[in-house]
Structure 1
Amino acid sequence: MFQLVALSLLPWIPVILCKVTTEEAFTVLEGRSLKIPCHYEPQYASYVKYWCQGRTKEFCTSLARTDDLRAIDPAGEKVSIFDDPIQQVFTVTMNHLKEEESGWYVCGIEIGGFWYADDTTFTNIKVIHESEKTWCRTGDWRSCLSTGSEGSYEDSSLAIRDDRSGTFSVTFKKLQMRDTAWYWCSAGQQKIAVHVLVTPRATTTTAVLVTSPPSQSIANLLPPEPITKESWNTHSLLLATVVVCSSILFLVAMVLLAKKLWNKHKKDPLLRGVGSMAAKFTGFSPDASDLQNSTVVFLNKNSQDMHMI
């Protein structure tokens, strides 16, 4: 009896000792790709690995195997499989998933033989349909805009983008004050209210005061000419001329002043009397101007001395 029990459990010994592991479930959006890692023990490095759809191996539809060379291109095939013995993991890639492909799948290692069962593990894949994203102005259902099957919407005033990762964005173009309102954004059965407030753009005015001569504009004003050697020599010559002319005028003025003083001196009565006396003794003209070249002799009655001036 014991031997019979032992023989009946023999095919399941590899399952107990050497399990293949992966995540219990995966969720993916329709149209997207999915990668499923299946980890195994080192002793299975050289074994054939496979991926099939179903709940058990006996009722599982094979989709990819590592001994099938056509199933190693993850980009070109609907389903592909790649084994990495060093990391002890084989990876299954499923492309362009559809909602009807949701269900149970098996990561398996083929052991072979009647007494030995394959080492397998199960996972559930759920492909969800991408729901439309809608943006509406509260109280005006005719304003509702949806992404549609493409996952996006855009016109001259608004753009809706769905990145298909759990978030979608709404972008206003050329916002106006009249866009201030309450809006609804919804995805499937989920809906949330959003308030948009548009405020006037702040403006800054800078006053600039420009003054210019009344007879010419700023554009006609020329910068001062730089002082050069030639201009400095010209200025020096002009200055010397001014100094010489000023000196000559000063001398002329002094001469005229002296002549005027001399003429005034000639009219003095004392000088005229002296001139008359000199004329009596010398016979010269009594003009005082001749005194500068005359000798006057005075005779003293009490003395025979003669004084000359």
Structure 2
Amino acid sequence: MPKLYIRALSLVICIPAILCAVTTEGQYSVLEGQTVVIPCHYEPQYEHYVKYWCRGTTREFCTSLARTDYLQASDAAKDKASISDDMDQLVFTVTMKNVKTGDTGWYICGVEIGSIWSADVVTFSNIRVIDGMSVVNTQVTGEEGGSVTVECLYSERYRESRKKWCRSGDWSSCRLTDSGASYEDASVAIIDDRTRTYSVTLKKLQLRDAGWYTCSAGKHKISVQVLVTSRPKDTLPVTSTPAPTKCNAYVPAKPISKESTRSHHLESWLMCSAIVLLLGVAIFGRKLWKVHNPKYQFIEQGSAPTQSKDNKSKSNKCPWDVSDQQDTTVVFLNRDDKRDDAFLY
């Protein structure tokens, strides 16, 4: 319903001006005693116009709280709000300090046109002042083994109240500040600065610490979710390993299985068998070669053949042709025949 009301008001005001040229957030929530800051943006054509901040739902019945032309304002208005205009950024900023619950209501960011024929260019904001508790962040995250801090805000009227921190659903876990406005043990530390803020620090976080907690002051409390992430595993630094030398090469040991042992034995047996087989073939071949080589036959019989030059050359030409030499007859002739020694084949 409030949003529909805002849209209706904006439409009625914007129709005379044809275009709404001031914008801001439509809703603000602030804790009692705190400060609220409202930025109001405008179009470049209104750079040198007067800007103002007032309380009300229409321009005619709007109580002025601050203006950029520094017109005389009451002391109460000065204490309540201030305004500044940044023409470079095209935004004027309103600051309201020490707000009370009575300050809840509708306000107007406006640009004063100053003409009876044109209405002021305005936009509306609703400020809601909360009496009780608030937090800076409703969800915080910490790492396992580390710490995380929650900032809890409270109203001015609870300045002297004891502050409490509890795990949601477990009232036995509550920790309260003492007369010195602080509390501390091995896992939790609470410090109240008495300026409407107290901080809760969870120390030495563990994964089981994740969950929902509550900040409390007086009869008011607000929930906060705490998340805990796992600590990353430690990684060993990677160092370069020098290359092994030929003299002292190191091979890392590997576990030996039964299958690898059997395979190794089989390979050794096959290697030895192959060597023995090759050696046997070599010996047999040599024996066979000696049997068919006439040179070795004559050596074994204790005599060597005498050959003529022609036969020698013939023998050299085909040393392995032993078929004719097996049928050769050696004849020795006397010198009286007046012939040279010769071999007859």
TM-score with structure 1 setting the length: 0.44
Structure of larger gyration radius:
1
